[in-house]
Structure 1
């Protein structure tokens, strides 16, 4: 398997407009499975992403066609979804945090190379997961 195919999530990164949104949406079916499956997918996407990005010279920056990082971060958020409403909130929060880059997401985004490419989305997924957990703790979903 080529590093570019993995980094683009088997071509999803070529979809337009908004390839990052398509990369996030590609893993939404994980919401129908137990949370541990989404967490295992997060680990698999993270490992595969680091492997692929370390073999691509263009990964020193975050090209828009690289969406394995979105798949990893979104999978992290979905691990805590527990309902379809939770999955919808996870998606909305993940995209918001990935685009707006608040706090730790912005810090991670400024890190060089494959670490920065992957870490900002994992941080966005973590923040989205916290939002989803708060949503469920409040009895809303």
Structure 2
């Protein structure tokens, strides 16, 4: 199983556990803090591994899928499964805006660390857009 898929599954499971103890506004604060800490961690890890976007970093999937669940919940199991599938599609295939986001910030330093996270946030946005259209119809 690909590391990104494992990271997204972990995000799903951990979100379901965390929401038992954290009200929505605290979950939002956790996502924001995790983004800032993740930016630093992704920057540092990529630099130390000497790889611009290491596939072994999955924090980007975790934070982005937490964002999807936080904004789309409540959903039943099937809705969550659809959200998981959509996010994995957008993250792996990188169609349109996700591919653009993936190419926007490359390299090392703060730009590279942000780039590791950025394409996953755009994949999360695309996922949320599809869910919004699905709910509207």
Q: Which has the higher contact order (CA 8 A, sep 6+)?
A: 2
TM-score (norm 2): 0.77
Greater per-residue helix proportion: 2
Structure 2, unmatched stretches of 5+, are 107-111
Matched residues in 2 for 1:122 and 1:68: separation?
12
CA RMSD, Structure 1 to Structure 2 (Å): 2.1
Structure 1: stretches of 5+ with no match in the other structure: 1-16
**Range moving further from structure 2, 78-87 or 53-62:** 53-62
Match of 1:14 in 2: none
Structure 1 residue aligned with 2:87: 94
**Which stretches of structure 1, 4 residues or longer, exceed 4 Å deviation after superposition?**
34-38
How far does residue 59 in structure 1 lie from its aligned partner after superposition?
Answer: 6.8
Indicate the residue corresponding to 2:109 in structure 1: none
Residues 43 and 114 in structure 2, CA contact (< 8 A), matched pair in contact too: no
SS at match of 2:56: coil
**Is contact 2:11–2:61 with CA below 8 Å preserved after alignment?**
no
Deviations 1:39-69 (A, max 9, x none): 4443233112101122231375211110000
